[in-house]
Amino acid sequence: MSDLFLEAAIEEARKGRAAGGIPIGSVLVHNGQIIGRGHNQRVQHGSVIHHAEMNCLENAGRLPGKIYRECVLYSTLSPCPMCSGAALLYGIPKIVVGENKTFQGPEAYVRSQGVTVEIVNDPTCIELMEKFIAEEPTLWNEDIGV
């Protein structure tokens, strides 16, 4: 796996799991530079909105619309409706998805709105989630509103 940005997102996911949380990570990339990174905070901060992508966007801070429209959002997992919606709100034109085997967000809808969604299906991303879901199915279901 050669994509350094997806690698950084995986590092975020691992950091989250190491803290007892859900192993999903995300980075925001602008002109080849990481300008935000984050991971799911449901366990760590009792948050229902800090999914990895949301936490990443929040950590990137307040940015002009112009910047978002030049960004690529990386996530280890296919973005859920909320995180997909955040990308649409800010006009982020491209999302690189580590995997969509263990969960699939509204990719077709996101694409229909003009966003490029690239699915890597990286074995490390899949393994991280498969292990986590097997270990904590109830927590996982809570995170996706099941």
- By annotation, the residues acting in catalysis are 53
- Choose, by CB under 8 A, the member of 73, 84, 132, 140 that binds a copy of itself: 84
Of 109 and 121, which CB lies nearer to a copy of itself in the complex structure? 109
- For residue 8, what is the enclosing H or E element? helix 4-18
Q: Which of residues 52-71 bind a copy of itself (CB under 8 A)?
A: 54, 57-58, 60-65, 68
Binding flag, residue 114, a copy of itself (CB under 8 A): no
Distance, CA of 106 to CA of 119 (rounded, Å):
13
Of 80 and 122, which CB lies nearer to a copy of itself in the complex structure? 80
In contact, 34 and 20? CB cutoff 8 Å: no
- Choose, by CB under 8 A, the member of 32, 108, 114, 145 that binds a copy of itself: 145
Closest approach of Cβ 60 to a copy of itself, in Å?
7
- Choose, by CB under 8 A, the member of 4, 121, 130, 141 that binds a copy of itself: 141
For 99-122, the DSSP string reads --SS----HHHHHHTT-EEEE---
Residues in the interface with a copy of itself (CB under 8 A) total: 34
Distance, CA of 132 to CA of 144 (rounded, Å):
14
Closest approach of Cβ 125 to a copy of itself, in Å?
20
Question: Residue 103 to residues 32, 71, 106: CA-CA distances in angstroms?
Answer: 27, 24, 10
Nearest Cα to 95, choosing from 75, 66, 65, 70?
A: 75
Distance, CA of 136 to CA of 144 (rounded, Å):
13
Binding site for a copy of itself (CB under 8 A): 42, 46-50, 54, 57-58, 60-65, 68, 80-86, 88-91, 106, 109, 141-142, 144-146
